[in-house]
Amino acid sequence: MPKTSASFLVVKNRSHAWAWWALMLLHAAGFLWQLHHQAYRLTDSQQYLNVAQNLHEHGEIYSAVWKQPFILEGFTLRPPVYPLFILLWQMVTGSIWGVLLAQAVLSLATLYTVQRLWLASALQRKFPVLLLVAVVLYPAQIIYANMVMSEILVQALVLGFFVVMRMYWEERQTKWVLCVALFLIAAMLTKPLFYPFTFLFLIWGIFKAVQQKKVLLLVYAILPLVVAFGYQAYNQQRTGYFHFSSIQEINLRQYNAFGVWEKEHGYAYADSALASLEAQANKQPSFAERQKFLRNASLQVLLQSPVTYAQNHLLGMVHFFLDPGRYDLVHFFGVDGKQGPGLSSHLQTEGYAGLWAYLREYNFFFLLALGTLVLANLVKLAALVLYAFNRQVALAERVLLLGIILLVAGLTGPVGVSRYTVPVFPLVLYTLPFAWQQAWRFVQNR
């Protein structure tokens, strides 16, 4: 591999310890800001905190306040791994601030792991300055390291999944497949979004087990799905409905169906239709019937307007890659008191013409910051494309990395925003020097 292909990104014979000091300073600054601003909670945050408290006091996974009458939806809304993470660090430190400190350390460890991957690759470079610049241009990393949200934990688990899969390819030892399965289980029980990955992992495991004639590979590959079914059976025991998480029905009606209604008939109609749907659902004789009604009715809305829904879904995926994180910045820094619809809502209802309606509501400097972040996101998107064509990276690795990112974007769908990119940010970050290498090669070959 020509050394010049990535040399643009490093300065030889010079210590870059200052870049890591700057990264640690950024995390420390975010933590100190939260100590002052104390904006570490979203709606999800309180639900996670409730689960942690209810696990500690009642031994139950329940995301609402523990009091009668219980909301059955709350028993399966949030899976247990992140609340256990909260509970652990609260017990160790005696404070919620211990949770944020642990997340800052985990964030730095994740970034360090990316750097180690670069060093272990054919590039044989650490790229500390690139690491620093990438984090500066991705404020969600610092923001969610200092929020009571599961993003940083699931980010570490997704990267762990990728790393141990690479270890398996390099060493061909079956133990690494078990490690992959364990990372997938932990990710799935942190964010339900990763539950569908268990089916793909099983398909891969069946293929490898047959190819290598190793039954143990199949056992490890089926383990995440067994855990998923076991967790659903546990949920059925508590609620009477066999399902993984009630967040699925919430997303279907409040975002997918609502988005179709809003795009075709306007916000007022969508709000009324959603209220009517939920009122009908609440008349069902059981929780299981209620959830099935919500699922079927929401899916029917999507099936009746497939083009509209496809437009919303594709637009959400585009937004997933390009969203500058306006909401994250507003909430974390308190820089803007504007109330009203965000960019996603404007785009859904007005198309790209809604972009101007959204932008004109902000001052110049805030717009400049958002524009800079959008440009950075465009560079990262281009990097993914270039990485896909870099044949000096193993095809299996490229398929795995890009497959994870695209699946997360696809499963997020119409609600794609900056926050949902946090779990895959280290994977995107990992591609940057390889992308530059490929771009350099294109230039040389012209």
Residue ranges covered by each domain of the chain = 15-149, 315-348+362-446
Predicted confidence (pLDDT) at residue 122 exceeds the cutoff of 80: yes
Q: Are 184 and 201 in contact (CB under 8 A)?
A: yes
- What is the Cα–Cα distance from 226 to 210, expressed in whole angstroms? 20
Task: Label residue 354 by pLDDT band (50, 70, 90).
Answer: low
Quick check: 11 pLDDT over 50?
no
> Could you report the per-residue pLDDT of 310-332, keeping only the tens digit for each?
999 999 999 999 999 988 998 89
Structure tokens at 179: 């490690």
Q: Is the pLDDT of residue 334 over 90?
A: no
- DSSP, collapsed to helix, strand or coil, labels residue 196 as coil
Look up residue 231 and give its amino acid.
Y
Would the pLDDT of 339 be above 70?
Answer: no
Helices within 337-394 (DSSP H only)? 343-350, 354-359, 364-388
What's the average model confidence in pLDDT over 285-297? 97
Could you report the per-residue pLDDT of 227-267, keeping only the tens digit for each? 999 999 999 999 999 999 999 999 999 999 999 999 999 99
Say which residue the tokens 């079956």 belong to.
Answer: 174
Q: What is the DSSP letter of 9?
A: T
Determine phi and psi for 294, rounding to 5 degrees: -60, -45
Residue in the structure block whose two tokens are 């390099």? 170
Confidence (pTM) = 0.91
